[in-house]
A and B are shown apart, each in its own frame.
Chain A
């Protein structure tokens, strides 16, 4: 509850948990949505927000080197 309040939404916190726990891997919006059990549009919006602040980048497939945008 603490982090949920701190981050402002359940979807945002779930997205962060998912990304950090599976760190070097890249995921598509569909994969993330399926795992998080959240609305696709909300997930998409959060991803876009994270890209804008530089937390997320478009990456290649699992395990490979990250390609900067």
Chain B
């Protein structure tokens, strides 16, 4: 008992010394780092918006919005790399530049396997290119063929409306 008690106090003493010093050293630099971050996080940062009185605003708008939001060949190439894609259909914002709200889906993929991490990177790339959100649907081959055979409304509307097939290994 006595021996154990003696040991305890020794450890406590050591602890006090070793803890007190590095704490002070680390606290100060972290404070300095967090202070400017308050502005960068967007709380009080200025917001920027297009000036509608800019002299070429209408012409520029037409040029930007009427062009294809992303290079189709590059989308197809990137799609090949994210997994075993059987069918890839683009629609919505990729084609209908004037009123993109008419269709519920921008990107439709039928695949056996998709690497989730690579797919996330791919979606981020698409969103950066298009400047907006990309609404996508992923389906397995069996589900797609079942939906196709029973004239599923979602698949029918997509394939009968304006769309473009980037990858087609199903012969649809």
Interface residues of A (CB under 8 A from B): 1-3, 14, 16-32, 35-38, 47, 50-51, 53-61, 66
The interface residues of chain A lying within 8 Å CB-to-CB of B69 are 17
The interface residues of chain B lying within 8 Å CB-to-CB of A21 are 65, 130-132
Q: Which residue of B lies closest to A67 (CB)?
A: B49
Alpha-carbon distance A31/B36, docked complex (angstroms): 17
Instruction: Choose among B52, B61, B67 the residue that contacts A2 (Cβ–Cβ < 8 A).
Output: B67
Q: Which residue of B lies closest to A13 (CB)?
A: B64
Main secondary structure of the interface of B (DSSP, over half): mixed
Q: Does B40 contact A (CB under 8 A)?
A: yes
Tell me if B47 and A47 are in contact (CB < 8 A): no
Interface residues of B (CB under 8 A from A): 40-42, 45-55, 57, 60-61, 63-65, 67, 69, 71, 124-125, 127-132
Instruction: Choose among B45, B49, B71 the residue that contacts A59 (Cβ–Cβ < 8 A).
Output: B49
A-B contacts, 18 of them at CB < 8 A, read A1-B71, A16-B60, A18-B131, A19-B49, A21-B130, A23-B50, A25-B49, A28-B48, A30-B41, A31-B42, A32-B48, A37-B125, A50-B48, A54-B51, A55-B54, A58-B47, A59-B48, A61-B47
The interface residues of chain B lying within 8 Å CB-to-CB of A19 are 48-50, 131
Tell me if B45 and A17 are in contact (CB < 8 A): no
| Nearest 3 pairs of A and B residues by beta carbon | A59-B49, A26-B47, A17-B131
